[in-house]
């Protein structure tokens, strides 16, 4: 998974991701990657690859917090939050999200987990969301 063309700094982040024991540690690594990207010490492709690894590692460690990292899942999370902003998730929005999941390679399980995390976050803030019934398109 880690190519020989990865920079020394990116390899260091990769090793730290493997060693991280909790989501807080993963978030610290993600912030470091963002800083290195801003300083151009890692490429965007390296940051994206590392962010996707962080998201996969976050699934393995305990806790229900969301880890924010440059990744396909984070791009999807931002889209999902945008659709949830009006506290209504329509069938049309769900179809658009389904297409986005296919494009980014986000599984239904990842979507469900992310949606539950966001809804729990909103509930703690005293907000509620209405979700229209949606049946996935055939051939999904």
Give the whole-angstrom CA distance, residue 139 versus residue 65. 33
Question: What per-residue confidence (pLDDT) applies to 65?
Answer: 85
Which residue ranges make up each domain of the chain?
8-60, 72-131
Task: Give the DSSP H/E element, type plus range, for residue 132.
Answer: none
Q: What is the predicted pLDDT for the residue at 52?
A: 95
By C-alpha distance, which of 98, 105, 112 is closest to 71?
105
Q: What is the pLDDT of residue 140?
A: 55
pLDDT tens track, the chain, 140 positions: 455 588 999 999 999 999 999 999 999 999 999 999 999 999 999 999 999 999 999 999 988 788 999 999 999 999 999 999 898 899 999 999 999 999 999 999 999 989 988 888 888 888 888 888 777 676 65
| 25: nearest Cα among 2, 64, 57 | 57
């Amino acid at each position: 998974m880690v190519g020989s063309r990865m920079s020394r700094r990116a390899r260091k982040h990769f090793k730290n991701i493997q060693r991280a024991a909790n989501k807080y540690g993963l978030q610290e690594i993600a912030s470091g990657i963002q800083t290195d990207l801003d300083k151009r010490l890692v490429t965007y492709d390296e940051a994206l690859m590392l962010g996707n690894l962080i998201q996969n590692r976050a699934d393995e460690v305990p806790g229900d917090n969301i880890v924010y990292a440059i990744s396909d899942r984070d791009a999807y999370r931002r889209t999902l939050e945008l659709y949830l902003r009006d506290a209504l998730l329509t069938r049309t929005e769900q179809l658009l999200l389904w297409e986005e999941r296919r494009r980014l390679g986000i599984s239904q399980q990842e979507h469900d987990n992310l949606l539950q995390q966001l809804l729990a976050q909103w509930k703690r803030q005293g907000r509620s969301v209405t979700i229209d019934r949606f049946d996935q398109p055939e051939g999904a």
